[in-house]
């Protein structure tokens, strides 16, 4: 399979090629794989103006029309499955098996949105709660919030963009989207598919690769009524500060923990922890970074984990045997390599991995006894690194999970029902996953974090709620 040499941006539903200024590399070879158009400020302005014009006709679309658009996308994504997966392999360096999994989730996300597009229910509400309200009744419904601004990251170029685009269409909100400059192709292909839908009014969508400076226009323009950003905490909170009156949804970073209790099925936990820590080279905000293991099984599970990690095949993501592919860039790989070296210098033990080759190929790495204050423990690694820590008491393990400025998801391997509910009650995270890793996500569940991990929830129904406003009706019956 071969990608095109150049790709357009999508401005007010139409392909446009004002330039080919954005060069996107194959993350494994480092060579330029294709070029795409880069939106200039005047193009972004035109897109926002188009979204404003499209707000009223988008809001008037019938539920079945929005569902038809989403189901068209589902059908076309299935037809282009191999192309989408290959594009992920190239632009993101994602191993082909992980890439195919993401395309499957893309399809799921649009299918769920299609189902939700015809379920925009409201409610009849009794208002006669006292004598003064006798004869009054109320009703409310959800209406589209209006033009939305979306900024998506490099690590899930398809599915994280889909979690913004699909609910916007389901609710009837026009949008402008800035995909990550390192991985714009997935969103561009989505734009190509949406452009096939004549029912969408002009301005319903724009897909605009842009420089980081261009993000200011996506953030600050008061005509945009919602900003949904997925990316790093530093950037996300800065954008929120600039966003003005608009609603802001942030899905940010994490350094997720998993707890392996003494009654856990260690063989099962091993397979899931390996996946959670190292799938797509650890470049996931809910990737397993901290592994807390009960003292009674610590040595056994550590040995199992080290042995399994050493068997993981690293190499070309297009090879089906590859489990560990490249990180997104040389600079990110060097950054994490420095964190590993700093932790070792501070007293941590290197159990396996730690080597860096080809600029961005970092080995799957396990560290032990990483001290508090080390970046490898306290910050978001966002790469193939996990650290091991022993615990004696389950309560202490929960406190350790909470000892983080992040709070996205946590995993608990235990068969004790009371400990499951204790973890659910006490962990300061957006989601607790029992007998699996925090990396687990299904696309209709509420998903998002607390603390520095963000604001609001993704998951189609919950995103639709964010993209809508309540419109109240009060009736006085005389």
> How distant, in Å, are the alpha carbons of 73, 190, 194 from that of 80?
10, 11, 14
Q: How far is CA 312 from CA 105, 209, 242, 273, 276, in A?
A: 24, 34, 43, 13, 13
**380 close to 257: Cβ distance less than 8 angstroms:** no
| Given the residues 285, 363, 380, 465, the one annotated as active site | 285
User: For the chain, how long is the longest CA-to-CA vector?
Assistant: 80
Residue carrying the six token digits 């390599």: 337
Residue 256 Cα distances to 114, 140, 194, angstroms: 31, 39, 35
| 79 flagged as catalytic | no
CA 174 → CA 225, 427, 478, distances in Å?
10, 37, 40
**C-alpha angle 220/225/231, rounded to 5°?**
60
SS3 assignment, position 386: strand
Say how many CA atoms lie within 13 Å of 425 toward its Cβ: 7
Is 197 a known active-site residue? Answer: no
Closest CA to 388 of 401, 403, 370, 404: 370
Say which of 100, 251, 332, 458 is annotated catalytic: 251
Q: Which residue in the block uniquely carries the two structure tokens 């490898």?
A: 376
Place of tokens 């980081």: 212
Q: Which residues are catalytic?
A: 251, 285
């Amino acid at each position: 399979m071969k990608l095109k040499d150049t790709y357009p941006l999508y401005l007010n539903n139409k392909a446009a090629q004002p330039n080919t200024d954005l060069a996107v590399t194959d993350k494994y070879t480092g060579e330029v794989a294709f070029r795409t158009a880069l939106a200039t400020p005047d193009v972004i302005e035109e897109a926002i103006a188009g979204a404003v014009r499209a707000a009223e006709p988008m809001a008037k679309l019938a539920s079945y029309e929005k569902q038809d658009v989403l189901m068209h996308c589902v059908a076309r994504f299935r037809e282009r499955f191999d192309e989408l997966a290959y594009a992920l392999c190239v632009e993101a360096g994602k191993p082909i098996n992980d890439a195919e999994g993401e395309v499957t989730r893309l399809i799921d996300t649009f299918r769920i949105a299609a189902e939700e597009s015809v379920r925009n229910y409201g409610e009849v509400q009794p208002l006669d709660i006292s004598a003064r309200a006798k004869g009054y009744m109320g009703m409310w419904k959800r209406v589209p919030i209006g033009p939305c601004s979306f900024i998506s990251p490099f690590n899930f170029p398809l599915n994280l963009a889909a979690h913004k685009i699909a609910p916007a269409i389901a609710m009837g909100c026009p949008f402008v989207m800035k995909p990550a400059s390192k991985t714009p192709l997935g969103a561009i292909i989505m734009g190509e598919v949406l452009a096939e839908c004549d029912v969408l009014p002009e301005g319903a969508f724009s897909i605009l690769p842009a420089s980081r400076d261009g993000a200011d226009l996506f953030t600050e323009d008061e005509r945009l009524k919602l900003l949904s950003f997925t990316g790093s905490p530093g950037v996300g909170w800065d954008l929120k500060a600039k966003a003005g009156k608009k609603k802001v949804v942030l899905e940010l970073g994490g350094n997720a923990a998993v707890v392996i209790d003494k009654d856990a099925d260690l063989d099962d936990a091993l397979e899931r922890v390996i996946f959670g820590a190292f799938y797509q080279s650890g470049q996931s905000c809910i990737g397993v970074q901290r592994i807390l293991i009960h003292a009674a099984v610590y040595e056994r599970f550590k040995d199992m984990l080290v042995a399994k990690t050493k068997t993981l095949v690293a190499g070309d993501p297009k090879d089906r045997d590859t489990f560990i592919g490249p990180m997104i860039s040389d600079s990110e790989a060097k950054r994490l390599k420095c964190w590993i070296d700093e932790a070792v210098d501070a007293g941590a033990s290197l159990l396996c991995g730690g080597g860096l080759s080809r600029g961005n190929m970092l080995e799957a790495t396990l560290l032990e006894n990483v001290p508090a204050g080390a970046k490898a423990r306290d910050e978001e690694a966002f790469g193939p690194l996990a650290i091991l820590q022993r615990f004696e008491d389950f309560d202490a393990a929960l406190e350790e999970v909470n000892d983080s400025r992040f709070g996205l998801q946590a995993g608990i391997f235990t068969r004790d029902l009371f400990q499951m509910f204790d973890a659910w009650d006490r962990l300061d995270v957006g989601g607790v996953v029992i007998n699996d890793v925090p990396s687990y996500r299904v696309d209709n569940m509420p998903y998002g974090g607390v603390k520095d991990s963000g604001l609001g929830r993704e998951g189609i129904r919950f995103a639709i709620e964010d993209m809508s406003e309540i419109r109240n009706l009060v009736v006085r019956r005389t």
